[in-house]
Amino acid sequence: MIVKEVLQNGLTLITESMPHVRSVAIGVWLRQGSRHERVEQTGISHFIEHMVFKGTRTRPVEVIAAQVDSIGGHMDAFTTKEYAAFHLKVLDEHLPLAVDILGDIVTNPLFDPIELAKEKKVIFEEMGMVEDTPDDLVSELLAESFWPAHPLGRPILGTRRSVATFKRAELLAFFKSTYRPGNLVIAAAGHLDHQPTSELIRRHFGALKPGGRQPATRPPAPAAKIVARSKRELEQVHLCLAVPAFPHGHDDRFAAFILNTVLGGSMSSRLFQHVREKRGLVYSISSGLTAYSDTGMLSIYAGTSLDSVNEVLQLVILELRTLRDERLPADELRRAKDHLKGSLMLSLENTGSRMSQLARQEIYFDRRFSLDETLASIEAVTDADVQRVAALLFRGQAGCSVLGNLGGYRPRAAQLRI
């Protein structure tokens, strides 16, 4: 049973009772992310995500970790381009302590200057990890070139220059203006009842003063640019291709899900079978959909040798054209639908996944979609729908980023024309 309640101060609470489990996953979700930052604030949302764990008025940093460990809980947080989340998974009997801890870190962070200085070093190391992880780095390069001069093209972590300038007063001002009840969604799923959970939330979040409004945003204008970056120490060439895709609420999103599954979203996908299994040109190749409130991207990633880059590009573009120009065979459509439905149903056996789905549906749709409704939407997609969506997405020139020991190599625009 799913229950939604809006507190008097504007905070939204959504719970789902799952009587057959013993755990509870609960998360505090902020309806803002890195795309809502000004350019000089780049990375501040992610930095605050780190800092709330570094001590509160009542809990030193060591106590937060010790209390979570003492109950065998799992606590984590993340920041995306459109939202941030702080979540805990515990046994049902420990839900009161979980709400107490979440309420404390999200409403009473100290932003201690000593911890702030240390955390800058941690985030610089996190940036170094991205630099050392080629598939992450080539994706960052793609986003920056695909959405130039737009917040969606900027890194969530920020830059070394922007993070180095953060001061306590700036963090505190951003926090106080952003972490307001109208911007917060609390989602919980597991062995719980709504009313006792609501009483806990009111106790720890009810005193927050009303307020909170997302800053105005503008959709980006995609650019089919080619960006190449040489990194001599890399053995492989890593490449990403991208075309514009649909935002979260688009009517054709389920046809796009199936299109992506067929293209590169599974081990039986065309890219995996035709480029890796049949020709052995790559170890890893896949496609993925990224959706935001007002735009989206379908991207393809591959890692290959420098000698094989042109052939891989040729094969990828060929697959896009084939999906655009030919109907899906019935067995392939059936397999893609069953893959999507199976993956969805298996993921929702987990309380953490159920909690996340509650929050994301509230943030993007302001309503819940039942499992049966979602499965029916997948099942209703036809081969004509998939081809029509492919014709919408696969046209013109794809954007591309390339990373590796390139030796002067750079893809030509003609190679990326679909």
Single out the catalytic residue among 5, 37, 40, 49.
49
The dihedral region occupied by 55, where left means phi > 0, alpha psi between -120 and 50, and beta the remainder, is: left
Catalytic annotation on 49? yes
**What tokens were used for 246?**
């649909």
Q: In what order do the strands lie in the sheet with 226-230?
A: 226-230, 399-404, 237-245, 296-304, 282-291
Give residue 165's identity as a one-letter amino acid code. Answer: T
Three-class secondary structure assignment of 108-171: CECCCHHHHHHHHHHHHHHHHHHHCCHHHHHHHHHHHHHCCCCHHHCCCCCCHHHHHCCCHHHH
Of 42, 216, 221, give the one whose Cα is nearest residue 147: 221
Helix, strand or coil, per DSSP, at residue 276: helix
Residue 403 half-sphere exposure toward CB, CA atoms < 13 A: 23
Contact present, 5 and 13 (Cβ < 8 Å) = yes
Strands 282-291 and 184-190: unpaired
Q: What residues act catalytically? A: 49
